[in-house]
Amino acid sequence: MHELSLAKDMTRIIGKVLGGCRPLDTVNITIGPLSGISPESLRFCFTEVAKMEGFGEPRLVITETEAKLICLDCNNEYKAKEFYQGCPSCGSFSRRILSGREFTVDSVEIMEGTDPYVR
């Protein structure tokens, strides 16, 4: 389950940016369908890791994107929700991935009443 190591990396990065642990209200992330990340597994792992690392119990808001691909056989650009989806025009699996591998922490909301600049 690599989602556990991703959750640990997220809290490490968030802590570094904030200059330490702060009680968080919400963490907003984006995950692409070709990233290989299970949103529900990540949600579970992040909740536990955030609690253990001193960030409280922040809500993890996940925005899931669609993958954009271009067929190398018929040049059709199309969207896919999973990796094993062929070109809707010709059925080919020969394609170039344009997007869909995203995994970003977009924003963090600090719990109201805490000052992010006080250490």
**What's the pLDDT tens digit per position in 49-65?**
999 999 999 999 999 99
Q: Is residue 119 part of a domain?
A: no
Could you tell me if residue 116 is inside a domain?
Answer: no
List C-alpha distances in Å: 49 to 8, 11, 55, 84, 86. 6, 8, 9, 32, 37
Give pTM, 2 decimals. 0.82
Asked, for residue 31, whether it belongs to a domain, the answer is: yes
Establish if 118 belongs to a structural domain: no
The range of the structural domain enclosing residue 72 comes to: 2-110
Identify the band that residue 1 occupies on the pLDDT scale cut at 50, 70 and 90: low
Domain at 16, CATH number = 3.30.2320.80
- Is the predicted pLDDT of residue 114 greater than 80, yes or no? no
Q: How many separate domains does the chain show?
A: 1
